[in-house]
Amino acid sequence: MSDKKLIFVTGNAMKLQEVRAILGQSGIDINSKDLDIPELQGSTQEIAREKCRRAADLLQGPCITEDTALCYEALNGLPGPYIKYFLKECGLDGLNKILAGFENKNAWALCTFAYSAGPGTEPILFEGRTDGKIVPARGQGKFGWNPIFEADGTGKTFAEMSEDEKNAISHRFRALEKLKVHLQSL
Ligand SMILES: O=c1[nH]c(=O)c2ncn([C@@H]3O[C@H](COP(=O)(O)OP(=O)(O)OP(=O)(O)O)[C@@H](O)[C@H]3O)c2[nH]1
Ligand SMILES: [Mg+2]
């Protein structure tokens, strides 16, 4: 890609902030656009592909989109891509209580970036996953479900970490590492 300037279609300011911080000095410059794209039901991959297709159609050009899922092992991966609505309706406490009947509190955060070269092309997906467990809320509650997700091996929730600490191990960082390689090869 000649100028490495890419449109990230998202309505989520925190995602954008993290993506910019993680991309840092990579030479990949992100512009953002907040378009209201309907999100389908289905697997995270189906949702990610369709959102990116629709975004590229609306923009009439190349773009990236991102979908984040929070997956509970005891629930075979749910709430998954529907976490936004669970968080809104049940809150952090409710997201803990959902697991009250299960001993298994394991969960994973899954980030899926989709890249479209433009309308009519098939989006390419880049996934990143961080394993952890669901815990009662700890730390600064500035971003989504960060306070209830304790990343394995850290003893900290995402909300107890500095920006740099989270960005070094997050689902978003791991997905962006793959997207970066692809973009740099264009
Ligand atoms: O604690 C968190 N740490 C994270 O790292 C993180 N990344 C996303 N989220 C939240 O999970 C849902 C995903 O839904 P989502 O992928 O559809 O995002 P969105 O609708 O906010 O933006 P977009 O679809 O316009 O890009 C939304 O509630 C996001 O706020 C996070 N919460
Ligand atoms: Mg969304």
Q: Which ligand places an atom closest to the C-alpha of 68?
A: 1
Nearest protein Cα to ligand 1, atom 30: 144
**Which ligand 1 atom is at minimum distance from the Cα of 51?**
24
Q: Is 15 flagged in the annotation as binding?
A: yes
Place 163 in a pLDDT band, splitting at 50, 70 and 90: very high
Look up residue 43 and give its two tokens. 């697997």
**Distance between CA 118 and CA 116 in Å, rounded?**
5
Residue with CA at minimum distance from ligand 1 atom 16: 67
pLDDT at 2: 44
Spacing, Cα 38 to ligand 2 middle (Å): 8
Q: Does the beta carbon of 66 sit less than 6 angstroms from any atom of ligand 1?
A: yes
pLDDT at 160 over 70: yes
pLDDT at 171: 98
Residue-level pLDDT at 90: 98
User: Is-contact 10 65, C-beta < 8 A?
Assistant: yes
pLDDT at position 5: 77
CB-side neighbour CA atoms (13 Å) of 117: 8
In 3D space, the residue among 132, 177, 128, 176 whose CA is nearest the CA of residue 154 turns out to be: 132
pTM of the model: 0.96
Question: Does 149 show up as a binding residue in the annotation?
Answer: no
The interface pTM score, or ipTM, of the predicted complex is 0.98
Q: How far apart are CA 64 and CA 84, in angstroms?
A: 20
Contact predicate 114/124, CB 8 Å = yes
pLDDT tens digits for 40-89?
Answer: 999 999 999 999 999 999 999 999 999 999 999 999 999 999 999 999 99
Cα–Cα nearest to 21, from 147, 176, 179: 176
